Structure 1
């Protein structure tokens, strides 16, 4: 009800868009408050359905095909690293044997069934990552508030190209990020912290950057636990598939061409940039080694300063940025860490506006947040000429587009290093 200027109380007019809209919002809020579990469950079902509509079982998911071929090889006692032979256009399996063991159930499903399973898992995990991010940003919020906001944030994650391309190829990037965040953000009992980092490293190696993170931040017990868990995954691989384990750890791990050409525009690692600029794959060259060492030193000094100042999520996301930059191959899908990073940046923009208004600090933060959002939202590398060695002939603005994720990651890392250059400086 409302009160008129002359003091007469009136009822909202039926059909009034303002009144109806307000009533609808109030009813929805009341439902969420009274039945939070039901509401969130329905929201998850709707979101999963939307994802299945965009990535149906009939849609090819290339990386999933690689996983299924390896899983089928595990179940039938064949070599997982030659399972692609005879399948036109399929690259070889590149993960350690432990990952193939975990993926073995995929071999029991049809290709369409595997696609449904992967899409459903990625959709649910995306909602989980949204909630983990909100909890890290708003530790004092109620669980209900965190989940509601987290689900909204998770759904918004589809706006970023690395997330979309993970669904498109049926990859496991979001799943790895989720288990890493659970461990790193302290959602495990203290005695088990580090276990999931070790498991993630045993699946794909690159999460091993977080073992270095634990050492840099002086979490030595967790680093030891993570290392032991990684060793355990290696040992399991040797027990279950000794021949494949020897092949991987003795040969394939040193083959930089197995995942694909490093010069492809989709490789947004430092090595990809160097190889494209130099006209072809250079392998482990001196320029790349120097770039990696500089990134590691500058990056982990910044990580340590962020962690010492209580900026836990910042320190984790900076480490993830270091990881994708120094890895020999970082496909655009590996940059899914841009999702929580974007949420963090915009949260800091809002905080800056509340405290300083439209200040220079606010403008800089807003500019950086917009830069990151647009870069990963549009998927700028795909706008550059690519495939058939077109990446080797970029010029002018194409050079920026073709290397934009790497440039964006370097800018964020340098901006953080500058912001944290003194311990007393506020960020």
Structure 2
């Protein structure tokens, strides 16, 4: 039987369509299963303490009440108040309208989706020449594997927004927005939680002045929106609460892996640590941003972003372990670089990658004495365990500063 050219061409197109659709369907199915797993593991009746704090503030806004004192109407387990700018309460208003159970499901789904996005954009940044099927498959796989890291699990456990902010920042800083909108998501993230504002400085340091201006304008826009919606709340936050680092919780608590937490544990409290802390913050910013700029100028954009992020979590007054979700792109990047490297460089990178993996997978700070001020009793190996996230960041910054001590050709 002869086959007409038209029929042959038609069958060829159908075959190509099937081949193209199959990986898409498989990847979509894998992503859907992962989302379902996250909802199953963090169900609607999960506590998610921090999400409760967000929802209480958002409900207070919807009812015309003070978002910063609304927690006083609840028992002692809601003792911590809302610590974010008023704009964040606007963002969480839809979650508050959904109700507790539905809000938890939405938060888990959004966080899980953002974890997959983090994996995708990270792999894309490391391997821009890969075909999209390979990038998608590897990106989804490493994104799913991120659930093995304690900062990610902690963000799900508490209903935190860390993964959402990380996804916004990576999408923007890695250039996945149209050129004229680059910087907008950095500004929105800063308007929600302030600490992403470190990346406005990063944009200035890397001479991306237009993006820095857009990010600054977007941040101001969130401040204006918050002031219009909650004028009294805005005055309270920008005039008082922003200067109270103790409001989020005890500085010395083991979960705080920022420099201020490290010094508070070593000194037995926060009294008298200000001079040493400020000096260390200045030194960290100098080393971190210098390394970030040289990495960027050498063509290592993802490395430069991560160096700025590590600088940010170290110098922030509070960086709970859940804030260290940057461990996901860090581990992905390091293991990719291990595969590329050879000789002494490969051994150093493998050691650093292993340090990050072990530290964040096991959540080493939680294996040291804590609660009841036992953080002040750390001696010997407990000093490493109790400050291990900060140790990983410092080692990474110093190695990067040495590697990028001068502008290198990629």
User: TM over 0.5, yes or no?
Assistant: yes
Give the Cα separation in 1 of the matches to 2:323 and 2:344: 33
2:40 is aligned to: 53
Once the two structures are superposed, residues 210-230 of structure 1 have per-residue CA deviations (whole angstroms, 9 ceiling, x without a partner) of 000000000011111111111
User: Secondary structure of the equivalent of 2:317?
Assistant: coil
For the 8 Å contact 2:122–2:329, the answer to whether it is kept is yes
From 185, 188, 201, give the equivalent of 2:190. 201
Contact kept in structure 2, 1:72 and 1:106, CA below 8 Å: no
The 3 A distance-change label for structure 1 pair 37 and 293 is same
The corresponding residue for 2:11 is: none
Does the Cα contact within 8 Å between 1:342 and 1:369 map onto a contact in 2? yes
Residue of structure 2 equivalent to 1:398: 382
Q: Decide which of 359, 377, 385 is 2:361's aligned counterpart.
A: 377
Is the CA contact (8 Å cut-off) linking 1:69 and 1:84 kept in structure 2? yes
Question: Cα deviation per residue 1:300-324 (whole Å; 9 max; x = unaligned)?
Answer: 1111110110000000001000000
Q: CA deviation at 1:84?
A: 0.6
Contact 1:252/1:258 (8 A) holds in 2? yes
The 3 A distance-change label for structure 1 pair 310 and 407 is: same
1-structure distance, mates of 2:312, 2:42: 28
Structure 1 residue 36, shift from structure 2 partner? 3.1
> Where does residue 5 of structure 2 map in the other structure?
none
**Equivalent residues in 2 for 1:127-276 (5 A)?**
127-276=116-265
Q: Runs of 5+ in structure 2 lacking a partner?
A: 1-16
> How many Å separate the matches in 1 of 2:312 and 2:206?
16
Q: How far off is 1:94 after superposition?
A: 0.4
What is residue 306 of structure 2 aligned with on the other side? 317
Runs of 5+ unmatched residues, structure 1: 1-29
Structure 2 Cα separation of the partners of residues 265 and 37 of structure 1: 43
Superposition deviation, residue 106 in structure 1: 1.5
Distance in structure 1 (CA, Å) of the matches to 2:309 and 2:235:
29
Report what 1:114 is aligned to. Answer: 103
Match of 1:411 in 2: 395
Verify the 8 A CA contact 1:31 1:39 in the aligned structure 2. no
Deviation at 1:150, TM superposition (A): 1.0
Say if 2:69 is the partner of 1:85: no
Of 343, 349, 354, the match for 1:365:
349
Deviations 1:302-347 (A, max 9, x none): 1111011000000000100000000000000000001001100000
Secondary structure at 1:262 match in 2: coil
1:264–1:391 contact (8 Å) kept in structure 2: yes
Aligned position for 2:326: 337
Residue equivalent to 1:19: none
The alignment's C-alpha RMSD in Å is 1.5
Q: C-alpha separation between the residues in 1 aligned to 2:247 and 2:386?
A: 22
Relative contact order (alpha carbons < 8 A, sep ≥ 6): 1 or 2 greater?
Answer: 2
Query: Partners of 2:122 and 2:408 in 1: how far apart?
Result: 26
Distance 1:294 1:159 in 2: 33
Quick one: which of 64, 89, 93 aligns to 1:104?
93
Q: Distance in 2 between matches of 1:423 and 1:241?
A: 47
| 1:64 corresponds to | 51
Contact 1:166 1:174 (C-alpha < 8 Å) held by counterparts? yes
* Residue 316 of structure 2 is aligned to residue 327 of structure 1: yes
Q: Which moved more, 1:289-298 or 1:74-83?
A: 74-83
Deviation track 1:42-91 (CA, whole Å, cap 9, x = no partner) reads: 11210011112211112210001101101111111111101111212211
1:13 is matched with none
Superposition deviation, residue 424 in structure 1: 4.1
Please tell me whether the aligned partners of residues 64 and 169 of structure 1 are also in contact (alpha carbons under 8 angstroms): yes
* Aligned: 1:125 with 2:114: yes
Scaled by the length of structure 2, what TM-score is found? Answer: 0.93
Equivalence for 2:7: none
8 Å contact kept, 2:298–2:408: no
1:286 aligned residue? 275
Q: CA deviation at 1:369?
A: 0.9
**399, 407, 410: which is aligned to 1:423?**
407
Tell me, yes or no, if structure 1 residue 303 matches structure 2 residue 292.
Answer: yes
Could you say which residue in structure 1 is the equivalent of 2:13?
none
| Other structure's SS at 1:268 match | coil
Residues 115-138 of structure 1 show CA distances to partners (whole Å, capped at 9, x for unaligned) of 111111111111111101111011
Distance 2:131 2:409 in 1: 31
Aligned residues: 392
